[in-house]
């Protein structure tokens, strides 16, 4: 029996309407919350602490996630009718990586005296610069800066602790605590170096002669936490006062270092670093007013820090 053409047309239209009007549910969670969500150019809401649920038609949907001070994320989803899609997205300040924090083992049971004892630390989540602060970036804030190594993408060195702290604060950030620094360097596996457990000058700028100097940031492959040059290149200032005995009474939650001291912590080794000095756990200190061509820094930021908020000490 032949089916009338009109019936076929009506059935086809009904099927197309069914495909295009049956909606899917997209649940979006972001770190941090407070992110504006737009779908196909229309703002549909802001992410709460839990998740934002949005009903969307089937088809390709363009999703934009934005919040002031963070990198905007754009993605395209091919949505099928009646399905439920879960999106978990981390938004980061430009040039920074997100570190989940949590519990990790800090220090080394078989390391130098200042690295002992190995102990448990629990950190709140935070961001840390993906690279050492560069000459070009530092010069935007300090026009009079005369670097010992030329090139906009070379690490900014010969910078005192006080100057490094001031720069980070001018960017709405702060120097990382040494716990934050070590967690990012060691990664989730707790490796000895930012690239693994074995010292390898082919994976980071260390083990060179004193005259060799640093190299342009990110010249080597990404390390733990998706950061660069946490092993070698230049020493990096941390926020903490230095105390060789601090690990013997350090608090477990978000340690901030001693309340007072004479020196500030340096981490990561430099291009001339040895096997021991390049370890993520190695923690020398130096006078905070001291400058050296091998002393540089990177900045950190608390997850929900308000720009311009006064930094610690």
Q: Where do the DSSP E strands lie in 67-116?
A: 73-79, 84-90, 96-99, 102-106
Per-residue pLDDT, averaged over 234-254, amounts to 97
Phi, psi of 180 (to 5 degrees): -60, -45
Question: Residues of the chain with pLDDT > 70: what percent?
Answer: 90
Per the CB < 8 A criterion, the answer to whether 160 and 139 are in contact is no
Q: What pLDDT band is residue 4 in, cutting at 50, 70 and 90? A: low
Please tell me the distance from the alpha carbon of residue 288 to that of residue 175, in angstroms, as a whole number.
Answer: 13
Is the pLDDT at 1 greater than 80? The verdict is no
Cα distances from 183 to residues 64, 105, 236, in angstroms, run 31, 9, 14
Please tell me the distance from the alpha carbon of residue 29 to that of residue 60, in angstroms, as a whole number.
Answer: 20
Q: Which of 11-20, 30-39, 104-113 has the lowest mean pLDDT?
A: 11-20
pLDDT for the residue 133:
98
Query: Please, what is the average pLDDT of the chain?
Result: 91
Please tell me the distance from the alpha carbon of residue 295 to that of residue 236, in angstroms, as a whole number.
Answer: 6
Is the pLDDT at 63 greater than 70? The verdict is yes
Residue 75 burial by CB count (10 A; 0-12/13-18/19+): exposed, middle or buried?
Answer: exposed
300 bridge partner residues: 128, 174
Pick the CATH number of 22-90 from 3.30.450.20, 1.10.1040.10, 2.60.120.10, 2.60.40.10: 2.60.40.10
Is the pLDDT at 243 greater than 50? The verdict is yes
Per DSSP bridges, beta strands 36-39 and 42-46 are antiparallel
- Which residues have C-beta within 8 Å of that of residue 41, sequence separation ≥ 6? 62, 64
Domain coordinates of the chain in residue numbers?
Answer: 22-90, 96-302
Picking from 161, 221, 171, the residue whose alpha carbon sits closest to that of residue 196 is 221
pLDDT for the residue 132:
98
Pick the CATH number of 96-302 from 3.40.640.10, 3.90.1580.10, 3.30.565.10, 3.40.718.10: 3.90.1580.10
- Which residues have C-beta within 8 Å of that of residue 187, sequence separation ≥ 6? 194, 223, 224, 225
Per-residue pLDDT, averaged over 62-74, amounts to 95
Rounded-to-10 torsion of CA 232, 237, 243, 246: -80
Per-residue pLDDT, averaged over 105-113, amounts to 95
Cα distances from 269 to residues 138, 161, 240, 283, in angstroms, run 21, 16, 17, 9
Is the pLDDT at 21 greater than 80? The verdict is no
Is the pLDDT at 308 greater than 70? The verdict is no
pLDDT for the residue 312:
38
Q: Can you state the percent helix, strand and coil of the chain, rounding each to 5?
A: 15, 30, 55
pTM as predicted: 0.87
Q: What pLDDT band is residue 303 in, cutting at 50, 70 and 90? A: confident
DSSP secondary structure letter of residue 309? P
Q: What pLDDT band is residue 150 in, cutting at 50, 70 and 90? A: very high
């Amino acid at each position: 029996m032949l089916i009338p053409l009109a019936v076929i047309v009506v059935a086809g239209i009904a099927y197309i309407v069914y495909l295009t009007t049956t909606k899917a549910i997209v649940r979006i969670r972001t770190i941090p919350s407070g992110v504006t969500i737009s779908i196909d150019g229309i703002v549909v809401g802001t992410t709460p602490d839990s998740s934002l649920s949005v009903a969307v038609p089937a088809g390709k949907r363009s999703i934009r996630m934005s919040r002031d001070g963070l990198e905007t994320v754009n993605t395209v989803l091919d949505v099928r009718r009646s399905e439920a899609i879960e999106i978990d997205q981390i938004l980061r300040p430009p040039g920074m990586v997100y570190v989940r924090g949590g519990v990790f083992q800090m220090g080394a049971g078989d390391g130098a005296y200042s690295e002992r004892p190995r102990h448990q630390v629990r950190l709140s989540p935070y961001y840390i610069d993906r690279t050492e602060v560069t000459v070009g970036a530092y010069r935007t804030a300090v026009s009079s800066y005369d670097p010992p190594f030329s090139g906009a993408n070379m690490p900014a060195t010969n910078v005192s602790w006080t100057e490094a702290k001031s720069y980070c604060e001018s960017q709405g950030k702060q120097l990382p605590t040494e716990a934050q620094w070590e967690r990012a360097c060691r990664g989730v596996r707790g490796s000895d170096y930012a690239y693994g457990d074995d010292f390898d000058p082919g994976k980071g700028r260390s083990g060179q002669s004193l005259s060799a100097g640093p190299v342009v940031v990110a010249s080597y492959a990404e390390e733990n936490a998706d950061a660069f040059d946490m092993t070698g290149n230049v020493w990096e200032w941390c926020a903490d006062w230095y105390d060789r005995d601090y690990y013997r009474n350090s608090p477990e939650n978000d340690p901030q270092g001693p309340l007072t001291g004479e020196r500030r912590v340096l981490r990561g080794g430099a291009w001339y670093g040895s096997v021991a000095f390049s370890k993520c756990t190695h923690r020398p200190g130096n006078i905070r007013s001291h400058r050296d061509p091998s002393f540089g820094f990177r900045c950190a930021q608390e997850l929900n820090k308000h720009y311009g908020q006064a930094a610690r000490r």
